[in-house]
Structure 1
């Protein structure tokens, strides 16, 4: 008979491999992210903390929209998010949450509009298939030249000493960017690496995104000021018993909101590019300004309020 310890070792291995990927519900995921962002011992990098914050915003929006948890549970998780040191009040407070959720929603929605470049080409199915086949077999035995393959349908032109295909685009292509440029009536695809160019991802342009549809609602010229000033305005009005008290509260809350709004507008105006990049940069600029002006860092927001009300 073996020793009892030997039997135990056989039945219960000393090392169990339980690593892997596990499914988790949205509420538990939000609780985990809050714990990680709140922990003083957390070893999150700056990029990881930024990703966790954006992920938490998305989860809070999903929890609210799904309606699977009670209002009490939703308020509790929101309060926990708001209590995250430094960034909590800036990102998850009632006054800032609406605008931040709109920005995060814009990033998610704009990202979902991404498509492959070949989907933007105004070609018949037969010609599109032929272009892909040519790109895949280029330079191989039996392949034909571009001039022979696409004569009269797709132009082959030379730009800066390099050969490009000039391909007509669809009407919807005008809101996209290809190779860093907004698409016009035609798109130029490099002939030497056509397969890669056709399979590349095209993202919606920031200017075009904010002028139509969902993008206009989330990030348009009207939505920006409403989301920047509206929630705080409503809170100040609700908590004030007189016009003077309302004006004093606004003097402390709205100047920083105004600076964050202007910072976001400047980013949008001077940083052209895909909507997902510009919206994210604008959001981070606003949060950075809010952080710098906060009492936890410089106290400049309070100082500015003192100056506006004549206390400074």
Structure 2
């Protein structure tokens, strides 16, 4: 580049690299480069290091005689996607974990919160059991799971197997701390809600209203009755329903290959049509999903066929998010 014609595209690329995409589009006028840095979530020392890196990166550009850096710490609004069910045991936590990993694989900046305060299972599912989050000021710093997804769970704060005997307000406050953590590189937060329609769900939605909700159910009538209650809860608080997922939808015998439907077939899809909401897909009752989840290796992170339904559901969620924009 020359003094008279600085290459702004190249300069922007270099600045994005040293600031991890926190720099605004640079402007140059009469040799003075001006840019704004988003320093939300950074300490004073981290801000100083970033500003110094910007100035050092621009030293060899002849067209620039001065660098002016403005900093903004505007709080970023996370879009929360709640994963709910009307009852326990239908695979809500497995869907949440695999959905977060699938979104991460598809290039989305995603985090995961285990909001099941009384029965947290995400540390085991995500392979982060035994890890403890740190804190800076009054904010917790999320743990980065082996899959690369930042996450927090009540299971990271108590010993495995320890009972959490808290009343509703205490549980709500604990969930608020998880949601208000320092989610620096996250745009979308997958929140694994506890089963049912109780205090924790209401506490979250009063302060951290989700952008949308995904409901999961097994195909049988009893589970669908409870899923309908979860749908009703989100409708009452004006949270958009992204769609319904059917779990345990068919079992392939590993010995003879015959497909059976111990929990029925197509119930969730029919219920979605009846309620006028999208059907997002089916997840089979597969031994591979169970064994991988128990081992802390959610199948959405691998190349096996078990990853396919989760990637498909993640793709539909991304379509919904794009349409919402």
Q: Taking structure 2 as the reference length, what is the TM-score of the superposition?
A: 0.27
Answer 1 or 2: which has greater strand percent.
2
Q: Taking structure 1 as the reference length, what is the TM-score of the superposition?
A: 0.27
Answer 1 or 2: which has greater helix percent.
1
